[in-house]
Structure 1
Amino acid sequence: MVNSEAVRTAVGIIGNVISFGLFMSPVPTFISIFKAKSVQNFRSDPYMATILNCGVWAFYGLPFVTKDNTLVITINGFGFFLEIFYALVFFIYSTWSKRRKIMLIFLGEIIFLALLVFLVMTFVHTPNRRKVIVGPICIFFNILMYFSPLTVMTRVIRTKSVKYMPFLLSFANFANGIVWTTYALLKWDPFIVIPNSLGTLSGLVQLILYVVYYRTTNWDEDDEPSSIV
């Protein structure tokens, strides 16, 4: 008989692998930044947002908040430090005004995380209650992360072109949502199910747009400077 916990662990490992790929997907962007010694038209906003998202999820996965969520900790802990590295690269190669913005946002995020951990651990004394408090915060930030491609999807519809919406990234987002939803269903956790179900929907919409507008895409047109990556 199949052990449901073993299946859940296997699904979580797959989720870690897919999420790892998503975290590493901006590497070409940073190679470009390193070569140019400038952030060019790239924006730091998505990376700054992901720092906070990974931070709250890593906290959620800790055993004194929720049980048996080690795989939530591992991938979000990795993502937290990787996104800090990405932010550091932006800081180094940005103008002073952008550096100040990055510094202030990062400081605000660290203060928020520190306050969240302090208040929850000090004034909430049972894991179940901690989960109920931290979980909705995680949902909020995860939904923001999953629906950040809305600007790209709007652009696809407007231009009838999927050139700036990579298929593999859209597919990975879709697969990531399915895997983590499955992980949470195997041991019911609404705080993981809700945002990842919406993430699956977001990924599915991106794939549908890809199918609809693939034929109308002019792959030879000049690239526009990217301000959304």
Structure 2
Amino acid sequence: MEALIEKLSIILHPYKDVVGQFAIIITVLQLLTPALLINEIRKAKSTKGFSIIPFIGGGIISIMFVVFGQMLNDPVTVKVNLIGVILSVVYISLFYMYTPLNDKFNVWLRVGVAGAFSAVMVAYTKYEDPELVEHRFGLIVTLLLYALIASPMAELGEIMRKKSTEGLPFSIIFMGFAVGLTWLVYGVILNSLFMVMQNLVAVLLSGFQLGLFVVYPSKSTVSEKKKN
């Protein structure tokens, strides 16, 4: 595996700057993708049927990557994810605005838990052994990223029962796949096994979810049969 990555790195290295710039652009576009979901909520004038998890999860991941970017002394990672933090605050605020009154407490509760978790993670980086913190925190960020990408699969049983992908955020899943694939190529160019494996798993998780849209329609066939 390492030998293959090394060979591909040599072949693709002349395209490093182009791929790097594209990775930044597509990552920013990914951060803007949830706006499409917010627009659907705006049209429905309610968050019923929509989950706040993608927005909260995106905020947590952005905060974690800001901290990780500071560890790596990488201003690009820090700047891109600061944008992610700001956008997440906007998305969560709009989600709250359209949340029915009886569900608003649950939104506050989840945001509070997410905020507390983020604070604990940031505090951890201040007290961990400086020689170990970068690697360990990198693993934590990677696991959180996987959890966020895989979160729509929590509804897999319901999707199979209804034979419908209705409610799955296609735009977010698709952009996650595209971003993962781009950073996978960039990881190959950098000859970074860690980055390659991190994004390879992300691509596989997103790809599986995209496959569900091929197998099942976006509307429930069960509900349609009942109507007929």
Instruction: Sort the TM-score into its range (normalised by shorter chain).
Output: 0.7 to 0.9
Q: Equivalents in 2 of 1:140, 1:164: separation in Å?
A: 24
Aligned to 2:180: 177
Aligned to 1:161: 164
Q: Equivalents in 1 of 2:80, 2:91: separation in Å?
A: 16
Aligned to 2:72: 66
Q: Deviations over 1:39-89 (max 9, x none)?
A: 444332222222111111222122xx225x444333322112211222233
Q: Equivalents in 2 of 1:188, 1:142: separation in Å?
A: 21
2:198 matched to 1:195?
Answer: yes
Q: Deviations over 1:12-45 (max 9, x none)?
A: 3322332333322222433355567654443322
| Residues 58 and 76 in structure 1, CA contact (< 8 A), matched pair in contact too | yes
Deviation at 1:143, TM superposition (A): 0.7
2:127 matched to 1:108?
Answer: no
Q: Equivalents in 1 of 2:90, 2:72: separation in Å?
A: 28
Q: Equivalents in 2 of 1:32, 1:146: separation in Å?
A: 21
Q: Equivalents in 2 of 1:17, 1:33: separation in Å?
A: 26
For 2:59, give the aligned amino acid: I
Change (3 A) 1:175 1:133: same
2:20 matched to 1:12?
Answer: yes
2:90 matched to 1:85?
Answer: yes
Structure 2 runs not aligned, ≥5 long: 1-9
Aligned to 1:55: 63
Q: Deviations over 1:93-120 (max 9, x none)?
A: 5445235304522430342243034224
For 2:138, give the aligned amino acid: G
Q: What is the TM-score normalised by the length of structure 1?
A: 0.73
Aligned to 1:225: none
Change (3 A) 1:162 1:138: same
Aligned to 1:142: 145
For 2:187, give the aligned amino acid: A
For 2:90, give the aligned amino acid: F
Q: Secondary structure at the match of 2:151?
A: coil
Aligned to 2:215: 212
Change (3 A) 1:138 1:31: same
Deviation at 1:194, TM superposition (A): 2.9
| Residues 177 and 203 in structure 2, CA contact (< 8 A), matched pair in contact too | yes
- RMSD value, Cα: 3.4
Change (3 A) 1:191 1:134: farther
Identity percentage over the alignment?
21
Structure with the higher helix share, 1 or 2: 2
Q: Equivalents in 2 of 1:166, 1:41: separation in Å?
A: 11
Deviation at 1:179, TM superposition (A): 0.9
Structure 1 runs not aligned, ≥5 long: 223-229
| Residues 174 and 200 in structure 1, CA contact (< 8 A), matched pair in contact too | yes
Q: Equivalents in 2 of 1:31, 1:207: separation in Å?
A: 21
Q: Deviations over 1:137-179 (max 9, x none)?
A: 1111111111112135444433333444465544322222111
Aligned to 1:23: 31
| Residues 50 and 167 in structure 2, CA contact (< 8 A), matched pair in contact too | no
